[in-house]
Homo-oligomer: A and B are copies of this chain.
C-alpha cells in the first residue's frame, strides 16, 4: 500500500495530530516515516512581513535553522517513543507547500500526512494561507489531511 510516508512537522497541535496518524499508518503498513520541518530564510521573512529587524540576517537564519532542527528532532523522538521503527527527520528552507511537494518527489514518498491548518515555517504563526490546500493541489500523490 504506502511505502514511504512523509509528515511535515512544525510542532503545532495540528502537526502533532498528523504525526501521530502518520506513525499509526506507518506501523500498519510497515513503512518508514520521514519528518520534514521547513523554515524560511530571513530575507523571505522580511519580504513577507515588510519590516526590518535590527539583527544580522545570518544569525537569524541560523537561529531559525536551529529551531527547525530542534522541532524535527522532537517529532522524531515522539514517533520513536510511540514505537516507530524507521523514522528520519529533515530540515529544509523555502516556501512550505512547494518545498513539501518537491521533497516528496525527490524521496519517492507515496503518502503525505499533514495537519489541516498551521504548518507555516517552523515557529512562525504568520502563515495564514492553508498549506494543506496548496499541497493537495500541487501533489500528485495521496495526501491525508488530519
Whether A95 is near chain B, meaning CB under 8 Å from some CB there, is no
Number of copies: 2
Q: Are B142 and A132 in contact (CB under 8 A)?
A: no
Residue A12 CB within 8 A of the other chain: no
The answer to whether A74 has its CB under 8 Å from any CB of chain B is: no
Taking CB as reference atom, which chain B residue is nearest A144?
B144
A137 x B130 contact (CB < 8 A): yes
Chain B proximity of A99: nearest CB distance (Å): 19
Cα–Cα, bound, A137→B143 (Å):
14
Q: Mark A106-145, 1 if CB is under 8 A from B, else 0.
A: 0000000000100000000000001011001100001111
**Which residues of chain B are near A143, meaning CB under 8 Å?**
144-145
Residue ID in chain B nearest A1 by CB atoms: B24
> A87 within 8 Å of B by Cβ?
no
Q: Does chain B have a CB within 8 A of A21?
A: yes
For the complex, is A78 an interface residue (Cβ under 8 Å from B)? no
Residues of chain B within 8 A (CB-CB) of A116 are 136-137
The reply to whether A133 and B142 form a contact with Cβ atoms under 8 Å apart is no
Given known A25-B1, A28-B1, contact A146–B142 (CB-CB < 8 A):
yes
Give the contacting residue for A136; candidates B21, B142, B145; CB below 8 A: B145
> What are 15 A-B pairs with beta-carbon distances under 8 A?
A1-B24, A1-B25, A1-B28, A28-B29, A116-B137, A130-B137, A132-B136, A133-B133, A133-B136, A133-B137, A142-B146, A143-B144, A143-B145, A144-B144, A144-B145
